[in-house]
Amino acid sequence: MLRKTAAFEVKMRTFIVLISLLIASPVAADELKFDVRGWGITIGKMVLVDKGADAIGQFRTTGLAGAVAKVRFDMKRSGTTYRAALHTGRRDRTDQVDIPAHDPRLDPLSALMRVLALKDQSAGCAMQAVVFDGIRELVLTLEQAGPLRCRGTLTRRRGYSAVELAEARAFPISVHYENRTGGMVARKARVGTVHGKVSLILRD
């Protein structure tokens, strides 16, 4: 049982790093809620709240996944400061980084919001950005693949070990949007991981 729990936590940590680095604020100041699915089951729920200069993101394992490993991941942006706290039940980890206003890189929470909620429909969803969590850098590239669809990749750039880079350098992303007043919101987003694909599905 302990071995299964440890293996699941490794998968969840990998997922959290990737999904939080998906790469401007959400439409209006609405709260966005997503079911998170992977490996054939719903593994958790994610909530994103934009408050202008501040923002909050929360992920929790639920259901069977929560029974195996209670994982909680909290993200907070306050001005230019990004703080992330990971709790697995076996260990806690907190990271913080300050990205100055003149630095074009995005923190993971700002990047995640930019992908999942777009204010300007006419501009589409195509974008390129560098995401930095204080240690690692990822390059996000998204291209328009239809009126309400984008495809792209997340590419590891800096801060990764040789083992991690040998394991995988790039991960595919696809996002399907729906129109709402003031912009587009992701109806479904899918990202590849070293353990398989994980999806975010908007909750009505």
Rounded to whole angstroms, how far apart are CA atoms 73 and 59?
A: 5
The more confidently predicted of residues 181 and 95 is: 95
In tens, the pLDDT along 85-124 reads 999 878 888 999 999 989 999 999 999 888 988 767 777 8
The DSSP string of 79-141 is TTEEEEEEE-SS-EEEEEEE--TT---B-HHHHHHHHHEES-TTT-S-EEEEEE-SS-EEEEE
Rounded to whole angstroms, how far apart are CA atoms 168 and 60?
A: 26
Give yes or no for residue 183 having a pLDDT over 90. no
pLDDT of residue 186: 92
pLDDT of residue 27: 43
Rounded to whole angstroms, how far apart are CA atoms 202 and 61?
A: 16
Rounded to whole angstroms, how far apart are CA atoms 70 and 176?
A: 29
What H or E segment, with its residue span, contains residue 50?
A: strand 41-51
Give yes or no for residue 149 having a pLDDT over 70. yes
**Is-contact 114 24, C-beta < 8 A?**
yes
Rounded to whole angstroms, how far apart are CA atoms 138 and 201?
A: 23
Q: How confident is the model at residue 139 (pLDDT cuts 50, 70, 90)?
A: very high
In tens, the pLDDT along 1-56 reads 555 555 555 555 555 555 555 433 344 446 899 999 998 899 999 999 988 778 99
**Cα dihedral 156→162→168→174 (10° resolution):** -10
What H or E segment, with its residue span, contains residue 36?
A: strand 31-38
Alpha carbon of 198 to those of 10, 188, 192, 194: distances in Å?
A: 14, 11, 6, 10
Q: At what angle do helices 108-116 and 2-20 cross, to 10 degrees?
A: 70
Three-state secondary structure along 160-183?
CCHHHHHHCCEEEEEEEEEEECCE
Rounded to whole angstroms, how far apart are CA atoms 191 and 197?
A: 6
Q: How confident is the model at residue 156 (pLDDT cuts 50, 70, 90)?
A: very high
